Structure 1
C-alpha cells in the first residue's frame, strides 16, 4: 500500500524546484504568476528538507501528473506576436494581434500585478469611479484590497458598492482601461468579457483587510445596499477563513466532522490550516484520516470543504462557535 504524501501541493512544488539547479529553478519561477511565486518563496523559506521517502513520493506524483496532463502549454502574448511577425510580417502581425486582444488578453492590464498599490492608485485616481472599480476587479484580492484602502473612506464605500454590483467586465470597459494604461506605460491580464460575481470579489477584498477597515466598509454597505451586503457577508466565510477561528472553536467544529469529510478537505488545504486541523485530532482520529488519505480530485476536496463551511455556519448560527476570533473584541 502506498503511503500518503503529507506535504501540501505547494510544499511538493517547492521540493521539486529546490532539487533543480539555479538556472532551471529560475526558469520555472519566471513562468509562474506573481502570487504563485510569492507563495512558493514563502514555503521554501520556511520548510525543512523532505525525507528521502517523501521526495520519492513527490517524484512519483510528478511522473504520474506528467503522463496525465497535456504537455502543450499556452503561449504568452509576446510569443504569439513573435510567431505572427515571422509568419506574416510586422505590420500585419500587429493588426492581427490588436484584433486578437479583444478575445484574449490585454497587453497592459496584466502589467498591473507587478506594480506597487500606490502606483496603481496614482494611475487611476483622476479617473471615473467605474474605471477605478474595473481596475480593482482586474487585481487579485490582496492587491485589490490595498488599492481600495488607499482611497479616502467615502470613495472606498462607493467603489465597494460598484464592485459588488459588477456582473461582467465588458470589452468596451477593458479597452478603455487598456488605453489608459498604455498612456501610462508609454512604450498579458484577464480575459475580456469574462463572467464574474461582484459580491464574491467584494468579499475577497474585505477578507484581506484588517478587522476595523473591514467592519467600517461592511457597515457602510449594509446601510446603502443591504441586499449586496447580505450576499457579501455570506461569501466572506470560506474554508480558508477557518484559520481565523479560535483553537477551541476549531476543536468543537472538528468533533462534528467525520474522517470521510476531513480527509478530502485537508488534501487541498494549505499547510498552516492543515496543521491547525490535525492539532485538534485525537490519535485515533488522525489514524482514521490517514487511512482514508489518497489522491482526491479537486471536485472531491472542494465538496468536502464546502460541507465543512456549511457545518461551521450552522454551528455559528446557534452560538456554538465564533467564525472569526479577531472580531470577539471589536463589537
Structure 2
C-alpha cells in the first residue's frame, strides 16, 4: 500500500513515534539498529511545524496498513516488510528485513555497530584478515570505511580484497565468531548469516574512504589482482558519475550544496560533469557560478578532492532517503 502522507519515510516514523509518548517510543527504538535510530532520531530532532493534519494522516496510514495487510497469526512477514519499507524507505528497510526475517540471533557482531570506529578497529586489529573482512562486511559501509582507515595501512588492501572475494559465511563459522565477540560485548539484534561481502560491498566501503587512502588501497589491489581492482573500480560511484544522474536528481542535489563546495569541486571536474551541472541551473545562476570558477584561481588538489567527497557524501545520503537515484556504469543502482 502506498502511503498517503507526503512526508519522507524517516519523517513519518518520527511523527508516529512522537505521537506515541516517551515510554512507547523508547520501547520501539530499542528494537532498531544504530543507523535506523540515527535516521529516525535526526528526523525527530529536526521536525518543525508539523500540522495536525500531517500527524493524523501518518496515523491513518499506519492504521490502514495494519487493517489491510496483516491479521493475527497471518501474513506477518508481508506486514513487517511493508511497514518497515513505509517507515524507513526501501533501501534502509531491505537490510533490516533481511536481519529480521532471514537472520538468527547474533549479539556479538551487532554490538560492534554501536561502537566508535576507532574502538572497533582496536577490537579486531589483531584478528586474522579474513575475520576482519567478515566483520567489516556486516557493518554499514560508512562505518566500515572509518574502521578500515584506523587499521594498519599495510593490511588495508588485503582486507579489501578479502571483502571483494567473500561469498557468504558458513553458519558454524559465523556462530563461532559471534560467540567470541559476545564474550566482550552484548546486543539484541538479529543478523543475516549469509550473502555478506562481495565486490559491490568492497566498492561501497572504498567510496567512503578519504581520496588519498582510496587511491592508495586501489593501487595496491591492482598490483596484486588487476581484474579484481577493475571490478571494484567499475562499481564505485565517483564524482565523474554525477554526470549520469537524471536532471531531477541533479537539481535536487544542487539545492543541498553550498556555492563554495560546488565551486571547489568543479575546479577539478571534467567538462561532462560541468555541462550537466550548468544545464540544470538557471541562466543567471550558471553565469554566477562560471564567474566564481574563473575568480577562484588555482587550488590544491587535496582541497578539490575533499570538496568532491563532501558532495558525494551528500548525494549518498539523499539516495538513501529516496530523494535522488544514483547510477553507475551499466545503469545499475549504486547507493
TM-score range with shorter-chain normalisation?
Answer: 0.5 to 0.7
Structure 2 unaligned regions, length at least 5: 78-102, 258-279, 283-322
Contact conserved, 2:111 with 2:185, CA < 8 A, in 1? Answer: no
The alignment yields a C-alpha RMSD, in angstroms, of: 4.0
- What is the match of residue 219 of structure 2? 219
- What is the match of residue 327 of structure 1? none
Residue by residue over 1:164-198, the C-alpha shift from the partner in whole angstroms, topping out at 9 and shown as x without a partner, is 11011122431331232144349x44232x12351
The SS at the match of 1:114 is coil
- What is the match of residue 49 of structure 2? 49
Deviation of residue 51 (structure 1)?
Answer: 2.4
- What is the match of residue 177 of structure 1? 177
Indicate whether 1:58 and 2:76 are aligned: no
- What is the match of residue 159 of structure 1? 159
Contact conserved, 1:15 with 1:49, CA < 8 A, in 2? Answer: no
Deviation of residue 156 (structure 1)?
Answer: 0.7
State the distance in 2 between where 1:67 and 1:3 align.
14
Residue by residue over 1:278-321, the C-alpha shift from the partner in whole angstroms, topping out at 9 and shown as x without a partner, is xx599xxxxxxxxxxxxxxxxxxxxx977x726xx589xxxxxx
Deviates more, 1:105-114 or 1:5-14: 105-114
Deviation of residue 21 (structure 1)?
Answer: 1.5
The SS at the match of 2:209 is coil
Residue by residue over 1:211-243, the C-alpha shift from the partner in whole angstroms, topping out at 9 and shown as x without a partner, is 2222222232233222222222232229xx89x
State the distance in 2 between where 1:53 and 1:230 align.
52
Residue by residue over 1:42-89, the C-alpha shift from the partner in whole angstroms, topping out at 9 and shown as x without a partner, is 122223232233333322321222224436679xxxxxxxxxxxxxxx
State the distance in 2 between where 1:9 and 1:185 align.
31
Deviation of residue 204 (structure 1)?
Answer: 1.9
Deviation of residue 146 (structure 1)?
Answer: 1.8
Contact conserved, 2:134 with 2:197, CA < 8 A, in 1? Answer: no
Change (3 A) 1:59 1:178: closer
Residue by residue over 1:120-168, the C-alpha shift from the partner in whole angstroms, topping out at 9 and shown as x without a partner, is 2222222211111112122221221122111111111110011111011
Change (3 A) 1:136 1:64: same
Change (3 A) 1:17 1:212: same
Q: Which of these residues, 316, 320, 327, is aligned with residue 309 of structure 1?
A: 327
Larger radius of gyration: 1
State the distance in 2 between where 1:12 and 1:214 align.
36
How is 1:182-261 mapped onto 2 (pairs within 5 angstroms)? 182-185=182-185, 188-192=189-193, 194-237=194-237, 245=242, 253-255=245-247
TM-score, normalising length: structure 2: 0.60
The SS at the match of 1:111 is helix
Number of residue pairs aligned between Structure 1 and Structure 2: 241
How is 1:290-309 mapped onto 2 (pairs within 5 angstroms)? 309=327
Contact conserved, 2:137 with 2:197, CA < 8 A, in 1? Answer: no
- What is the match of residue 115 of structure 2? 115
Contact conserved, 2:109 with 2:138, CA < 8 A, in 1? Answer: yes
Contact conserved, 1:111 with 1:189, CA < 8 A, in 2? Answer: no
Structure 1 unaligned regions, length at least 5: 75-102, 267-271, 283-303, 316-322, 324-331
Change (3 A) 1:48 1:156: same
The SS at the match of 1:48 is coil
